[in-house]
Amino acid sequence: MKHITAYLVAFITVTFSLAGAERNVSEWSFSKVLSGPKISQSDLKNKVVVYEFWGVNCPPCLASIPKLSALDKEYRDKGLIIIGCHAQGGSDANVVKVAKSRGATFTITKSGHSPIQFRGIPRMFVFDATGKLVYDGGPSKGYAAIREAMKNLPGAILEGRTFKKFKRESKQLVARKGLGALYISLNKKKADDPIF
C-alpha cells in the first residue's frame, strides 16, 4: 500500500510539473503555406508570433480574421508574425477563398501542430520575442495580449526618443535588428555622455 501511495504521489507531482512547464514557440509547427507571406520556422526567431487555429465553418473564427489582419497591417514591419492554422476539413482552394473573402493578410496554413491539447476553435497562442508562450485562449482577449507583447519587443521602448549619440545603434535598436549595438556601446572603456 505504501508503494502504491508513493507511486501515485510521484505521478501526480510529475503530471502537475509538466502541466506548468513553460512552453516555447519552437514546440509549435505548421504545414504547407496556402496564402499570405511565405514563412519558415527560422523566421519566427526574435518575433512576436501568433498561432490561431481556425476553420472555414466556424463563425467566431471568421469574425477574428479581420481583427487579426488589422493587427498584421499595424505590426508586421515591427516584428509580428501571425499564422492562421486551418483546423477543419475542406479543400485548400476553399480555405484560401474563405480567408481572402474575410480580408486575411497574414499567413494561412493547411494545418498546424500544438503540444497543448485543446478542444474547440478559434484557439489563439501568443508568444513573445523570446519565444515564451504568453497567452493561450480565445481571440477576444488575445488581441490585447498581442499588443502587450509588441510593447515589450526589444527596441519598442526606444521608439519616439531622440538620441544625441549612437544614432546608428539607436536606429538598429528601434528597427529591432538586435541588441548587438547596445552591447558594444555598453562595453566601451570610456564613458560617454548620456544618449537620451
CA distance 131 to 27: 10
Inside any domain, residue 1:
no
Length of the chain: 196
Listed residue (40, 89, 98) closest to 65, CA to CA: 98
pLDDT of residue 11 exceeding 70: no
- Give me the sheet containing 48-54, strands edge to edge: 33-35, 107-109, 80-86, 48-54, 123-127, 133-137
Inside any domain, residue 14:
no
* Same structural domain, 133 and 90: yes
* Same structural domain, 90 and 177: no
Listed residue (96, 92, 85, 15) closest to 54, CA to CA: 85
Domain count along the chain: 2
Q: In the prediction, which pLDDT does 123 show? A: 96
Inside any domain, residue 3:
no
pTM confidence score: 0.70
Q: What is the DSSP letter of 24?
A: B
Domain that residue 121 falls in: 23-151
pLDDT of 47-61, one tens digit each? 999 999 999 999 999
Higher-confidence position of 172 and 158: 172
